[in-house]
Chains A and B, each alone.
Chain A
Amino acid sequence: MLVPLGVGCGDGRVSQPVVDTDAADRVRASLVTSAGAAVETGSEATATGTGWGTLKGRFVFAGVPAEAKALVVDKDTEVCTKDGVKLLDRSLLVDPSSKGLANVVVFVRKSSRVKEATPPTAPVVFDQKQCEFITPVFAARVGQSIDVHNSDPVGHNTNIAGTSFNQLIPAGGGTFFKPEAETGMPTMVTCNIHPWMKAYAVFRKDGYVGVSATDGSFTIPDLPAGEMLEFQVWHERSTGPNGALGLAKPELKWTPKGRFQVMIEADEVKDIGTLEVPVAALGG
């Protein structure tokens, strides 16, 4: 009898959670009364060691990647597909000889100490040529200059999601951008004039980011030694939440959220070895 009463007025949309009004009142009271109190949340990492170490590893793809799809290029073809060059989807780049998986991002979630407190003054160069971003995945530190450049004879615009940066980049010209906040997981970079162009950017305050190279290897130097560091791993094609890459590596406490933990000793170069990425983890 109660069932039709419960659903009778529904409009076919998914049902809404019911607010716990008592809990809401209680939380509100605590938000209003303790005004002005600035307390450490306790979520910051604390230094438990001295010195610096390095983390390295190598991602390999445990399968044969499907042939990369050709992108639909329908603008400025005289430049973008010059000499019959076909632009290919670069979301899964596997080195045929070493099986190395490129463009896996590894970064530290929280660090207590940073060797170089201020970001380098030299800008990160982010260039585009023949209607492709040259680096499909790039990292920069918060506050570090990014030299957004255009080496093409046609105009582009560079649109970094989540940052409100979307500027014209004239032919042969460029502009600078300084990220003001961390990205969390890498954020998409596009060109609205040429919608097939796509890259990913990751901005971190401490700069502890590694992007795997063509052979799948990555290195993150100058990490704070003597503390348990938690790393986040991401790949564009990963089926995990927000692109998180989960691997079956219990010895590193690797979680489905794509996080693993490592402690590095001072002056140690910790090699976590070859990390096999199963085909299913990247959507088959």
Chain B
Amino acid sequence: MNPTTPADVDRTRGHVPAWSIKIVLVLLVVIGTTGCGATPPAWFRLNMVEATKQKLTPDQERQVATLLTAMFGTPDDPVALPESGLDEAKLRLAAGPVRSDIVGRKNGLYREHCAHCHGVTGDALGPTAAFLNPYPRDYRPGIFKFKSTERADKPTHADLTRILKKGIPGTSMPSFALLSETQIDALVEYVKYLSIRGETELGLIRAYFELDDDAQGKLPETREFLVGEVLEPVAEKWKTAADALIAVPEMPPEIDLAASIAKGRELFYGDKANCVKCHGPTALGDGQANDYDDWNKSIVEWTKEVVGTDDKSWANRAHRVLDGDSLEPRTIPPRNLRLGIYRGGRRPLDLYYRIHAGINGAPMPAAKGTIPPEDIWHIVNYIRSLPYELDGELGADRPMVARDRF
């Protein structure tokens, strides 16, 4: 390889030939028109945090990206394999750039309404994400908080539809109630698509560690592995979500509200339900406040590993991944129960779900199994009374400065 170009040689002789100036000009025009200005075709971004954590080689990263394209297509051209249970027609309405092919019908809904926060990949790394508190949801781990199903199960289609219609109070997630039913339906399907894709990606990346040595670091590209072992277990959980609804017994009718609230209060402060430990003696959410949710915790734990390693070249890359592919971890404050703002919905039923199953992905544990249903209803009634609780309502001796309650 000769590093010296003809232009350099000419320059050493004291002049630059006209043809080389022409080449430079042509290149400048090319860069100017296509370089940073034009919209390139959209690609999903690889889960760099997990890929770097698992120390994938460049070839392995390329294999994951290629296999995912085979199984799910691209952001402009999504593919739904039959086993995914997804409806490709709905995905096409939500996918791609914002455009309209028929008067009155809009395509590219996800990029119009969602991608600036949730990211084209559904990785919660959209351009506005870093400015929001709480951060937008990263769909890739397949964990969702506000749902009518048991903790370990996926949300139903109706649960996600409800979030799109109502928004999430107390967060930046707005209501999309002005969109048509068809459009909301398409977006819900697309969120499921990104989530199934993201969980499949995690499965593929983690599968390298499980490979036998004779596989030579390459995942099998067979249908049995890709669909049977990786995609189907993920898709199956979405298909069975509707069978995993939380059974909610009627609120006990024989007890009057004041008595129920008093019972709920006792449970709130007692060491059986133990709500006080996190939500605080004042219920202002000032108890245990230095914990993280699952999304942030994984970054916190990995950062410790990166800081502690002796492998400097890997650590350099890992630091760049932390900078570019994750957001600064934040602790998760327990909910302030005196505001009357409930992210998962304010119906008594919503609060019942939250207490029964806890909040998946968050420190909030499930009461199921240890607190009987009627007691959960008492706690619901107490929680609902908290924003309106006045000093003296439950007895003049009860001071409002709640630390004095003990």
Q: Does A41 contact B (CB under 8 A)?
A: yes
Q: Does A64 contact B (CB under 8 A)?
A: no
| CB–CB B365/A192 < 8 A | yes
CA distance A163 to B152 in the complex (A): 7
Using A193-B277, A195-B288 as known contacts, say yes or no to A9 and B70 having CB atoms under 8 A apart. no
| CB–CB B324/A13 < 8 A | yes
Q: What residues of chain B lie closer than 8 Å to A158, measured between beta carbons?
A: 365
| Closest partner residue, chain B, to A174 (CB atom) | B370
| A1-24 contact mask (Cβ, 8 Å, vs B): 1 or 0 | 100110011011110111111011
Q: Does A38 contact B (CB under 8 A)?
A: yes
CA distance A166 to B273 in the complex (A): 13
Q: Does B222 contact A (CB under 8 A)?
A: yes
Using A20-B62, A155-B272, A164-B152 as known contacts, say yes or no to A14 and B309 having CB atoms under 8 A apart. no
B282-340, CB < 8 A from A: 288, 290-291, 294, 308-310, 317, 320-321, 323-325
| B220-233 contact mask (Cβ, 8 Å, vs A): 1 or 0 | 11111111110000
Give the distance to chain B from A158, nearest Cβ to Cβ, in Å.
8
| CB–CB B223/A30 < 8 A | yes
Q: Chain A's interface: helix, strand, loop or mixed, by majority? A: loop
Q: What residues of chain A lie closer than 8 Å to B323, measured between beta carbons?
A: 12-13
Q: What residues of chain A lie closer than 8 Å to B274, measured between beta carbons?
A: 155, 157, 168, 170, 193
CA distance A192 to B364 in the complex (A): 8
| CB–CB A19/B62 < 8 A | yes
Q: What residues of chain A lie closer than 8 Å to B271, measured between beta carbons?
A: 153-155, 170-171
| Closest partner residue, chain B, to A164 (CB atom) | B152
| CB–CB B288/A16 < 8 A | no
| CB–CB B61/A75 < 8 A | no
| CB–CB B35/A9 < 8 A | yes
| CB–CB B370/A170 < 8 A | yes
Q: Does B388 contact A (CB under 8 A)?
A: no
| CB–CB B70/A14 < 8 A | no
Q: Does A242 contact B (CB under 8 A)?
A: yes
Q: Does B171 contact A (CB under 8 A)?
A: no
Q: How large is the interface on A (under 10, 10 to 19, 20 to 34, 35 or more residues)?
A: 35 or more
Q: What residues of chain A lie closer than 8 Å to B309, measured between beta carbons?
A: 239
| CB–CB A20/B66 < 8 A | yes
A229-281, CB < 8 A from B: 230, 239, 241-242, 244, 255, 257, 259
B184-215, CB < 8 A from A: 206, 209-210, 212-213
CA distance A25 to B71 in the complex (A): 9
Please report the total number of B residues contacting A with Cβ < 8 Å.
72
CA distance A9 to B325 in the complex (A): 17
Give the distance to chain B from A125, nearest Cβ to Cβ, in Å.
17
Q: What residues of chain A lie closer than 8 Å to B21, measured between beta carbons?
A: none
CA distance A244 to B324 in the complex (A): 28
Which single member of B27, B66, B288 contacts A24 (CB below 8 Å)? B66
Give the distance to chain B from A177, nearest Cβ to Cβ, in Å.
9
| Closest partner residue, chain A, to B151 (CB atom) | A164
| CB–CB B31/A159 < 8 A | no
| CB–CB A157/B365 < 8 A | yes
Q: Does B367 contact A (CB under 8 A)?
A: yes
CA distance A5 to B360 in the complex (A): 45
CA distance A249 to B64 in the complex (A): 32
| CB–CB A193/B62 < 8 A | no
Q: What residues of chain A lie closer than 8 Å to B213, measured between beta carbons?
A: 255, 257, 259
| CB–CB A173/B366 < 8 A | no
| B43-74 contact mask (Cβ, 8 Å, vs A): 1 or 0 | 10110100010110010011011110111000
Q: Does B368 contact A (CB under 8 A)?
A: yes
| A146-180 contact mask (Cβ, 8 Å, vs B): 1 or 0 | 00000001110111010111111111010110000
CA distance A62 to B384 in the complex (A): 59
CA distance A168 to B321 in the complex (A): 36
Which single member of A8, A35, A154, A175 contacts B35 (CB below 8 Å)? A8
| Closest partner residue, chain A, to B213 (CB atom) | A255
Which single member of B52, B55, B62, B363 contacts A17 (CB below 8 Å)? B62
Q: A14-B52, A170-B370, A244-B209 known; 9 other A-B pairs, CB under 8 Å? A: A14-B48, A16-B45, A19-B65, A31-B81, A32-B81, A35-B223, A192-B365, A193-B277, A230-B212
Which 6 pairs show the lowest CB-CB distances between chains A and B?
A: A13-B324, A164-B152, A155-B274, A192-B363, A157-B365, A27-B70
13 A-B pairs with CB atoms under 8 Å apart are A1-B5, A4-B31, A14-B320, A14-B324, A14-B325, A20-B62, A30-B222, A157-B365, A159-B363, A167-B370, A169-B370, A173-B272, A195-B290
